[in-house]
Every structure is written in C-alpha cells, then in structure tokens.
C-alpha cells in the first residue's frame, strides 16, 4: 500500500476521531494501523467516523470486513473494557 498525503490525512483525522470517541490509541507507525483503524470504525456509532473508515478502506484497498475483530483492535482494548488513569497513563483492566 502506498502512503500518500491523502491516505495520511485520512488516517490522522480518523485517529483523532477514534481517540475521542472510543478511547483507542493507534499510532500511525504501527504495521497494522490501517486494519486496527478499520476494525475500530466498525464499532463506532458515529456516521462520520464510519464514513472516514470507508474512505480509508477505499484508499488503502483493504476491505472493511477483513478488519473486523469484535472487542480488540489487534491488541488494543477498546472502550468496552474498563479504563482507569494511573499517573497520567490509561490502564486497561
């Protein structure tokens, strides 16, 4: 997959929305960042987030259904688990 400006802008916008909405922290440097973002988009209730996920899937040639994992986004716990803040860091329990 080629990372051009359009793909990176879409990933940045989607990353920001997922962090605010689902408390998911995905780094753009991760090897599986695209699939993690797409699987988190499937859990979103916001239509704009889902639309950004569809746009990222089109740009990256990755189908949305391939990224579906119900409660984990490739090792990242989503907001359905309890989240505590300890010394300024998120702790997933």
pLDDT, tens digit, 9 for 90 and up, residues 31-84 = 888 888 998 888 888 899 999 999 998 888 887 765 554 444 444 544 455 667
Tell me what pLDDT residue 3 has: 80
What single DSSP character describes residue 72? B
Helix axes 33-42, 5-22, angle to 10 degrees: 50
How many domains are contained in the chain? Answer: 1
User: What is the span of the domain harbouring residue 82?
Assistant: 5-92
Residue in 12, 16, 22 with CA at minimum distance from that of residue 42: 22
Q: Decide: pTM greater than 0.85.
A: no
């Amino acid at each position: 997959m080629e990372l051009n400006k359009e793909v990176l802008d879409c990933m940045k916008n989607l990353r920001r929305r997922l962090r605010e909405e689902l408390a998911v922290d995905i780094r753009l440097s991760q090897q599986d960042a695209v699939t993690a973002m797409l699987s988190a988009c499937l859990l979103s209730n916001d239509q704009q987030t889902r639309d950004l996920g569809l746009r990222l899937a089109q740009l990256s040639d990755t189908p949305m259904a391939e990224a579906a994992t119900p409660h984990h986004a490739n090792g990242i716990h989503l907001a359905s688990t309890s989240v505590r803040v300890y010394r300024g860091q998120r702790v997933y329990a």
